[in-house]
Amino acid sequence: MRRRSVKVLLTGTASDSHTWNLVYLRLFLEEQGHEVTGLGPCVPDELLVAACAEPRPDLVVISSVNGHGYRDGLSAVRALRAAGVQVPVVVGGKLGVAGRADEERRNMLLEAGCSAVFDDGDVQALRAFTAALVLADPADDDAAPMAVPPAVPGSAERVPVVSERVPVVPARVPVASGAVA
Ligand code: B12
């Protein structure tokens, strides 16, 4: 049977004490019908990894706004992938202190196994990402074949880079019309 929602594990980063970003994202995702488990702010990598054990989430959303997001996000994604967590992981928010997207650091996140990197203000891209995960549910017999493999460290094929407010295709989802491949 087709899944209608995504089980999202929502977390702040290890150094980030901001909370309203997390409140906002929870409401935003729940409004779309997704099931959100929130770990709160200042989450160490070990806690995040432990929280990905059963019940396994469908998606990990990492939010950071304190300016250390690239560094903390990289550490978190590396820890998750090193622990064998295979589910899509996205990072977003005010990731650096230098304004919008830092391509080099964004690419480091993607190389580390991050499925997508979102800028401050990219919540609609996150909406598209989670919606595509629902469409790609492998439990759904009618689901279209997967066009993009899961993002894993060192993988030659990577999920498309999310850029300026553009809807994206997450890992393991069919390329839908209008999506950026
Ligand atoms: C309130 C606030 C605080 C409060 C937080 C209270 C709380 N309970 O959260 C206090 C006073 C504690 C605080 C502390 C600090 N703060 Co402060 N804070 C703010 C402030 C004014 C508002 C943040 C807020 O609540 N916004 C409302 C929420 C709903 O929106 P948001 O956080 O912007 O999140 C949105 C987007 O970023 C995006 N988003 C976020 N995560 C994700 C994830 C994904 C996947 C996606 C798609 C989108 C996304 O979606 C959200 C909704 O649009 C901002 C400035 C500002 N105007 O934004 C600074 C700001 C975030 N703080 C900042 C800083 C530097 C700090 C401190 C480091 C200051 C210090 N030296 O101590 C500390 C943090 C310490 C730490 N360990 O983290 C900087 C961050 C710099 C940067 N990133 O470039 C900011 C931007 C101020 C500034 N202009 O310099 N802060």
**Across 92-98, average pLDDT:** 94
**Across 75-97, average pLDDT:** 97
The C-alpha angle with vertex 102 and arms to 98 and 105, in degrees rounded to 5, equals 120
What share of the chain in percent tops pLDDT 90?
A: 66
pLDDT confidence band for 98 (50 / 70 / 90): confident
**144 has a pLDDT exceeding 90:** no
- Of 83-97, 98-112, 125-139, 162-176, the range with the lowest mean pLDDT is 162-176
Give the pLDDT confidence score for residue 100 in this predicted structure.
72
pLDDT in tens, 19-56: 999 999 999 999 999 999 999 999 999 999 999 998 89
The C-alpha angle with vertex 35 and arms to 72 and 40, in degrees rounded to 5, equals 35
Q: Which of 38, 37, 35 minimizes the C-alpha distance to 3? A: 35
Q: Take atom 30 of ligand 1 and give the residue whose Cα is closest.
A: 21
Residues 136 and 109: beta-carbon distance below 8 Å: no
Q: Take atom 44 of ligand 1 and give the residue whose Cα is closest.
A: 92
Atom number of ligand 1 nearest to Cα 16: 78
153 cis-preceded (ω within 30 degrees of 0) = no
Q: Take atom 64 of ligand 1 and give the residue whose Cα is closest.
A: 66
Atom number of ligand 1 nearest to Cα 94: 83
Residues 159 and 171: beta-carbon distance below 8 Å: yes
Atom number of ligand 1 nearest to Cα 67: 83
Q: What is the CATH number of domain 7-135?
A: 3.40.50.280
The C-alpha angle with vertex 7 and arms to 107 and 59, in degrees rounded to 5, equals 10
pLDDT confidence band for 148 (50 / 70 / 90): very low
- Output the ligand 1 site: residues, CB below 6 A: 15-21, 24-25, 61, 63, 65-67, 90, 92-94, 97, 118, 120, 122-123, 126
**181 has a pLDDT exceeding 50:** no
Kindly give the distance from the C-alpha atom of residue 167 to the centroid of ligand 1, in angstroms, as a whole number.
24
Pocket test for ligand 1, best of 18, 36, 120, 130 (most atoms within 8 A of CB): 18
Q: Which of 86, 175, 84, 85 minimizes the C-alpha distance to 128? A: 175
**101 has a pLDDT exceeding 70:** yes
